[in-house]
Amino acid sequence: MRPPGLYERTGCGAVLAVILALACAVAHAGPQQERRAKCAYIWQRVAPWSYNPKLVEHFAAEHERLGIGPEWFASMAYGMANFGLTIGKRAPGRCFGPMDVKWPGYARQAGCRRPDDLRDPYRNITAHCLEAREGVRRGHEGLALCRWIMYPARPHDWGGGRFRKAWARHQRIVAEGYAAGKL
């Protein structure tokens, strides 16, 4: 039997394992934290009337939970372009804000039993994310995802201009945030 090596004598093996585990956790949390910071920064500037840190956390977490984390930016552009991220807003055709979710659509999967349940911003965001996940599953991302969600219900409204404008505005806000050292 060989004598214990340096790692066994000093406990460095266990320490190294803990450090490696922490480094992996930080590396994984990096994009998530950055996503939340950008999301909050944009939301506070484009829709301060509906900004809520818990809602931003839910928005980012639902995208991540459903495996579509990188599409949060498209979702934010979609919600801003259509409903101004206004909570509880209702449009003709049984669509509700903040994310312009149409009843019944994906609302039932989000736990809604009646159209007015979509006025709950958490259920509304969940229903939107479920629909976005289906779009991503079908190969759509970015502005193409916005089009995929919007087009079937209102093809005559699709020019894409308002989505491109919201997208560009959000990009400018993020760039300004980095330049000012706030992101």
Reported pTM: 0.81
CA distance 153 to 149: 8
Nearest to 81 by CA among 145, 152, 164, 157: 164
pLDDT of 107-155, one tens digit each?
Answer: 999 999 999 999 999 999 999 999 999 999 999 999 999 888 886 555 5
- 8 A C-beta contact, residue 50 and residue 85: yes
Q: Peptide bond before 92: cis, by omega within 30 degrees of 0?
A: no
Lowest mean pLDDT among 17-21, 48-52, 137-141, 158-162: 17-21
* pLDDT value at residue 18: 46
User: Does domain 31-179 match CATH 1.10.530?
Assistant: yes
Nearest to 98 by CA among 106, 89, 107: 89
pLDDT of 54-103, one tens digit each?
Answer: 999 999 999 999 999 999 999 999 999 988 999 999 988 889 999 999 99
Helix, strand and coil in the chain, % to nearest 5: 65, 5, 30
